[in-house]
Structures are given as structure tokens and as C-alpha cells.
Copies of this chain bind each other. A is one copy, B any other.
Amino acid sequence: MNASRVDYYTLEEITARFGGELIGDGNIRVGAVGTLERAGPDEITFLANARYRPLLASTQAGAVILAPTERASASVPCIATDNPYAYFARVAQLLHPRRSAPPGIHPAAVVEDSACVASSAHIGPFVYLGRDVVIGEEAEISSGCHIGAGTRIGACSKLYPNVVVYHECQIGSRVILHSGVVIGADGFGIAPEEGRWIKIPQIGRVILGDDVEIGAATTVDRGAIDDTVIEEGVKLDNQIQIGHNVRIGAHSALAGCVGIAGSARIGKHCTIGGAAGISGHLEICDHTVITAFTLVTKSITRPGVYSSGMPSMAHHAWLSNAAQVRNLERLARRVRDLELEVSRLKGEQS
């Protein structure tokens, strides 16, 4: 799908680089990744989910990455490894390296005098870099981005077009921010007084650790007083809202449309499913899993899987059941009364 020059690697070169057990002809050359279903003889694919095993017999791929236990099923050369999906990720990075933009500042960018841009960095057209901005080596700031005064962007980070980072924020190295991301907007800090809201200036910052990736149109608010912190290796999908003073522990991953209210603290190595919500001022411990559509209103202190998303059913049946939910306390009382009656009846009988 990619019109640019392709580099080919033999399976031997790949296993020399990444390990794994080579099964079959090591001289096979591949230049791209593909799916089990559609990969051609120049492409390498993977099997990480048993339900796709039937496709192994018919795949036209040049090679397959799979677990040692699956090797018997394959009809083509294989690389056997304990973690085929991670191995595939590395091979895909090798075959499909990120296109890097040429170094230099586009003449249609506006860069304040006191900004400091590494010579190997790329600054695209229509980019604005404020006072005292620092852009690290090999960083790429694509067209239409705005970097506020005093913000630092680490080495090798990539900002896709139309990202905004407000003033005084710290972005680590190898960070990826997709288009429409907004980092450092004011948190929702308002105080009620006589029926009106008074704005509380938001003077904290946003700190993004190294290797953070943030999906399109996700927003991370700056801290009210202290900082909002996303630790290293965190992956955020699209359309997520992170409130002020939130801390997300290292290597956690959040799916699309999640909302984290202000001052919540998410542990390390957590995963949060799509459109889940975390209330403010609570703590989620390390290694917690929250499933999609779940609302968390209290701190979670034991690792595990937590849920409250209600799966769908036919509309009319759902309406009847939902109506019963609204009478559930009464129903429970009626069951209690029945238990008393029945125990009385049993007493009278005996």
C-alpha cells in the first residue's frame, strides 16, 4: 500500500536480529507484513490467536511468526517464538520504518527568537514555536502545530499535524502525539459563588514521560496547582479526556473515549477499556484492568478485573428489564417478606 522504496530481509537475517527458531528455508525474502488471509509470498504474517489457526493451512504468506506449539500446523516457513505478537511488532517496525521528515525549519513556520531547535529536528510549515521552546534532536513538529512558551519537546518525538501543546509543558523523548491532540489546556477549575462560576487559574503543567503515545483528538489538561503527569511508556488511544492533576502510572494503556476526572491516580501497568470513566480524587492500584463502559467511583486497592458495562439485548426485552431495575429495591423487600412468611408457615406446619 506504500509506494515508497521497499527493503527486503531474509528470514535468516530476521532471526539473526530478533531471535526465535527458524523452521524452513531461511533464504525466503520478505518486504512487508500482511494478514494470514491476504499476505502474498513476499510478505510475513503471524498467528497469535488460536481462532485464526484454520487459516494457517491456506495462507499464501512467505512466512509466519507463531508460537512453538503451532509449528506443526504451518504449511510455509515459520519463525517460532514465545511471544509471536511482540515479535511481529518488531518485524513490522523493521519492514515499515517510520518515514522521517528532513531536518530544518520550514520557511512558513514562525519561531520566536528565544526558541531553541536542534539542528536535526524538523519543523513543518505553519508551525508556531513560542518563547523559550526547546525542540530536541530528530524531533518532528508537523504542519500546523503550536508549541507554547517554555515547553520542551524531547528527542525523536513526533507531533503529527495540528497538535497543540500549551505553555510550560514537558514532553519526553520518543513521544508520539497524533493530530488533534491538545496538551496543557486549562483544567475544569471553577468555584461557585452566588450562582456564578469563578475561574481558578490553572498554573500546573503537563509532564509526559518517554515513549508515551497519544491518539488523535485526545486531551490532557494541565494541573490546577501541581502537575498532570503521564509516566513513561503509557499508551492513550483516541478521544480520551484526562483531567487536571491526574497521574497515570508507567506502561498503562487506555482505549478510546475513556474519561479520567481530575486528581485521579491510575497505577502502573493498568489497562482501561473503551469509554470507561474514572471519577475524580480516587486511586486505582497497579495491574488493574477496567473493562469497556465501566464507571469507577471508588478507589481500587486490589489488582483484578472490574466491570459495570451492561451488554445489549433486544430493545423491548431490555425496556422491561430496565423498568424492573428501577423497582429492584422493592422487589428485594418483597423477597425478604416472602422468606419471613415461608419460615412462619414452616414453623406452623412442624
> How many chain A residues have a CB neighbour from B under 8 Å?
139
- Interface pick from A7-15, A69-77, A123-131: A123-131
Any B CB within 8 A of the CB of A62: no
A residues 223-265 near B (Cβ < 8 Å) are 225-227, 233, 235, 237-239, 241, 243, 251, 253, 255-257, 259, 261
Task: Give min CB distance, A299 to chain B, whole Å.
Answer: 11
Q: Which residue of B lies closest to A256 (CB)?
A: B241
Q: How many copies does the complex hold?
A: 3
Given contacts A86-B191, A332-B327, contact A216 B221 (CB under 8 A): yes
From B128, B195, B226, A251 is in contact (CB under 8 Å) with B195
Contact bitstring A303-328, B, C-beta under 8 A = 1, else 0: 01111111111111111111111111
- A162–B190 CB distance below 8 A: no
Task: Give min CB distance, A164 to chain B, whole Å.
Answer: 4
Any B CB within 8 A of the CB of A348: yes
Q: Which residue of B lies closest to A315 (CB)?
A: B305
- A318–B307 CB distance below 8 A: yes
- Interface pick from A19-27, A133-141, A199-207: A199-207
CA distance A93 to B172 in the complex (A): 30
Any B CB within 8 A of the CB of A279: yes
- B185–A178 CB distance below 8 A: yes
CA distance A182 to B5 in the complex (A): 26
Any B CB within 8 A of the CB of A215: yes
Q: Which residues of B contact A309 (CB under 8 A)?
A: 277, 295, 297
- A2–B203 CB distance below 8 A: yes
Any B CB within 8 A of the CB of A57: no
Q: Which residues of B contact A176 (CB under 8 A)?
A: 186, 199
Q: Which residue of B lies closest to A341 (CB)?
A: B342
Any B CB within 8 A of the CB of A104: no
- B311–A308 CB distance below 8 A: yes
Q: Which residues of B contact A30 (CB under 8 A)?
A: none
From B142, B275, B317, B320, A275 is in contact (CB under 8 Å) with B275
Any B CB within 8 A of the CB of A122: no
Q: Which residues of B contact A298 (CB under 8 A)?
A: 311
Any B CB within 8 A of the CB of A118: no
Counting chain B CB atoms within 10 Å of each CB, which of A204, A256, A314 scores highest? A256
Q: Which residue of B lies closest to A190 (CB)?
A: B235
Task: Give min CB distance, A244 to chain B, whole Å.
Answer: 10
A-B contact pairs, 8 of them (CB 8 A): A38-B225, A182-B216, A239-B241, A259-B274, A321-B327, A321-B329, A323-B329, A324-B328
Task: Knowing that A93-B200, A188-B215, A324-B332 touch, tell me 9 more A-B residue pairs with CB under 8 angstroms.
Answer: A1-B227, A160-B185, A166-B179, A180-B182, A186-B215, A196-B233, A306-B314, A308-B312, A313-B326
